Chain A
């Protein structure tokens, strides 16, 4: 049995967890909540620095209270990127210190792949097309020839970011996504808005601006509704294209925006019509969490991947398609 301690802290959530092959054994999370506006990168990093040792201490206590000894831990995993540079560096420093202290190897985990792997762990999905939607990231991913390939992604901002930006302009407080969803439920009519899919990629900044403009002549409810309808239809269309192109038959939803019920409904309808299976992990594993980093770290460690401290620098624009997926046996290539 392998046991890995993982730390996540790419943006607003600082979270650490200890997992083994079977389950999450312990998890502790401290969330940075901005007083006004959105995430301030420096404040978020200061938050993580302030709480890092406390989170680890509480995590180890919880672990020991359950009858385990820290000597059982085989490796320390941390989210190496993508994310906010200052936040990543704070988390990496804690991870290195822990690895040195316990004298065990370090594993650098790609944050996006963390979302994918916890979804594969906690749902029956085996080889899914993954729609990963959060504040900063919006990607359609899938495994092929030893890598997690990006089939489509945003050409400008993440969907969560677009929702928050529009919401701030409409006078709603951060995070705007859930509020937009609430208003959208009370809408009475659809307002025409831009729909931008370029091949397998999508773009949200124009939609966000158009929605803000539309507030002049339409109710907030109708604009929220129409914004969601267009933005999510774009995401679902590209997800469906990826299914058609790859021949895969499963869809996995990941990331914080995956909490939106309208997005889930649209994906579910699309999958039903295509005869594909649709999987949504439970909520605690959808947003950023320590367990996803610990578990992906475990898969990497078990397949022989560790990271020497001297080359453990963070990468704010770490691409998931640069990571060798050593823990999945290559499927038969059908081209």
Chain B
């Protein structure tokens, strides 16, 4: 069963498992395209398992091929449809744990989180990597805040709730949140 076609992968349901296929992009030179798809498939599978070990709910991996991951099916709703303050705080705690474990998600959007059984599952680790620096954590959160700002009208309240949760699970949270403000001012017009 076909489920969804995102920007880079086709996700389908087969024999009770989610099949995530990274599709070739014709606009990229073949060598670069294969490299990106292979690297992201491998990194995604590894980091999903690592994240679960840090206490962040993720689907369990069943099998991996060159450009394909088979994983557990989570019956949930994308957080972007059900978002509220309480959920943002929970989200903050989750990302705090992920960052404490040295993992950067790389594509934190409310479409990449599934709400199921009062838990938030983090999915799509295609751009994730290992890094413990304030800068990388800051960029990770900057990306999320940008998504909140661009898709949710009450983003200020949501960002505050997120920050409250984030402070609970990451001891250097304030340093990261200060960096987020700095990143927002940077890279504009020098």
Question: How far, in angstroms, from A43 to B29 measured CA to CA in the complex?
Answer: 40
A155 beta carbon closer than 8 Å to chain B:
yes
Shortest distance between the CB of A130 and any CB in chain B (Å): 13
Is the contact region of chain A dominated by helix, strand, or loop, or is it mixed? mixed
Interface-centre pick from A82, A199, A201, A335 (highest chain B CB count, 10 A): A199
Shortest distance between the CB of A330 and any CB in chain B (Å): 11
Q: Which residues of A contact B151 (CB under 8 A)?
A: 144, 245, 335
A56 beta carbon closer than 8 Å to chain B:
no
Shortest distance between the CB of B121 and any CB in chain A (Å): 18
Residues of A in contact, count (CB < 8 Å) = 50
Name which residue of chain B comes closest to A139, CB basis: B188
Q: Are A335 and B152 in contact (CB under 8 A)?
A: yes
Contact with B along A182-196 (1 / 0, CB 8 A): 000000001010010
Q: Are B32 and A190 in contact (CB under 8 A)?
A: yes
A172 beta carbon closer than 8 Å to chain B:
no
216-235 of chain A: CB within 8 A of chain B: 229-230, 233
Q: Are B26 and A198 in contact (CB under 8 A)?
A: no
Q: Are A157 and B187 in contact (CB under 8 A)?
A: yes
Q: Are A199 and B107 in contact (CB under 8 A)?
A: yes
Question: How far, in angstroms, from A326 to B106 measured CA to CA in the complex?
Answer: 34
Q: Are B109 and A245 in contact (CB under 8 A)?
A: yes
Q: A201-B143, A245-B111 are in contact. Are A145 and B153 (CB under 8 A)?
A: yes
A307 beta carbon closer than 8 Å to chain B:
no
The contact of A82 among B25, B31, B140, B188, by CB within 8 Å, is: B188
Q: Are B27 and A270 in contact (CB under 8 A)?
A: yes
Contact with A along B12-44 (1 / 0, CB 8 A): 000000000000011111011001100000000
Interface-centre pick from A82, A150, A201 (highest chain B CB count, 10 A): A201
52-73 of chain B: CB within 8 A of chain A: none
B139 beta carbon closer than 8 Å to chain A:
yes
Some 5 contacts from A to B, beta carbons below 8 A apart, are A151-B150, A155-B139, A158-B189, A199-B127, A241-B8
Interface residues of A (CB under 8 A from B): 81-84, 136-137, 142, 144-145, 149-158, 161, 190, 192, 195, 197-201, 229-230, 233, 236-237, 240-241, 243-245, 265-267, 269-270, 273, 316-317, 319, 321, 333, 335
Interface residues of B (CB under 8 A from A): 5-8, 25-29, 31-32, 35-36, 80-81, 105-109, 111, 127, 139-140, 142-144, 146-147, 149-153, 183, 185-190
Contacts A233-B28, A335-B81 supplied; 15 other A-B pairs, CB < 8 Å = A81-B189, A83-B189, A136-B190, A137-B188, A151-B150, A154-B187, A157-B187, A161-B190, A199-B107, A199-B109, A236-B27, A237-B25, A240-B8, A270-B27, A317-B185
